[in-house]
Amino acid sequence: MQTIFDSTGIHGGWKLLACFAACCFALMAQSERGSIRGTVEDASGAVIAGATVTAINAGTGVRTSTKTAEAGNFNIPQLPPGNYTVEVEQMGFKKAIQENLTVEVGAVAALNLRLEAGQATESVTVAAAAPQLKTETTEVRRPSIRNRTTTFH
């Protein structure tokens, strides 16, 4: 009886072992989480650095916050899948609220928001789903906008 590690078949055995190890590492690298990524701009299209972006999980109420970078972009990684409300706040602008944003496993929810000049006590709410980036392809899914609600507080 010959095993995969016999002197005549040792190279085949190591190849099998290497293939098995590579598959294990690939499975460990897959995440059960998603992320929200985008850019915050003002009404003229200029980027807004330092804005606070908060993702609120609709199911748990857990809040995850970050600040926009100098280029106005933000990334909120490692979010459990589910529905989120995203709030963006910056002094001198109305608070922007995006509702019904779905985060899927292994996907990036793209969210670009424009802030309107005004007081922080005012807000603009958009109740629609943002497009989902499929990171394994170049496909972008763009759901239709159901409705748009503007709220002033």
Looking at the domain assignment, is residue 148 inside a domain? no
| C-alpha torsion 68→106→103→65, nearest 10 | -30
Residue 146 has pLDDT above 80, yes or no: no
Looking at the domain assignment, is residue 8 inside a domain? yes
Looking at the domain assignment, is residue 147 inside a domain? no
- Whether 74 and 21 map to the same domain: the answer is no
Identify the CATH number of the domain in which residue 61 sits.
2.60.40.1120
At residue 106 the predicted structure's pLDDT band, cuts being 50, 70 and 90, is very high
Looking at the domain assignment, is residue 112 inside a domain? yes
- Whether 13 and 52 map to the same domain: the answer is no
Looking at the domain assignment, is residue 67 inside a domain? yes
Looking at the domain assignment, is residue 150 inside a domain? no
At residue 142 the predicted structure's pLDDT band, cuts being 50, 70 and 90, is very low
Looking at the domain assignment, is residue 115 inside a domain? yes
In which domain, by residue range, is 61 found?
34-141
Write down the pLDDT at residue 110. 95
Write down the pLDDT at residue 15. 61
Looking at the domain assignment, is residue 151 inside a domain? no
- Whether 60 and 115 map to the same domain: the answer is yes
Count of the separate structural domains present in the chain = 2
pLDDT digits (tens, 9 = 90+) for 19-78: 555 555 544 455 799 999 999 999 999 999 999 999 999 999 999 999 999 999 999 999
Write down the pLDDT at residue 118. 85
Give 41 or 10, the one with higher predicted confidence: 41
Q: Read off the pTM.
A: 0.64
> Please, what is the average pLDDT of the chain?
77
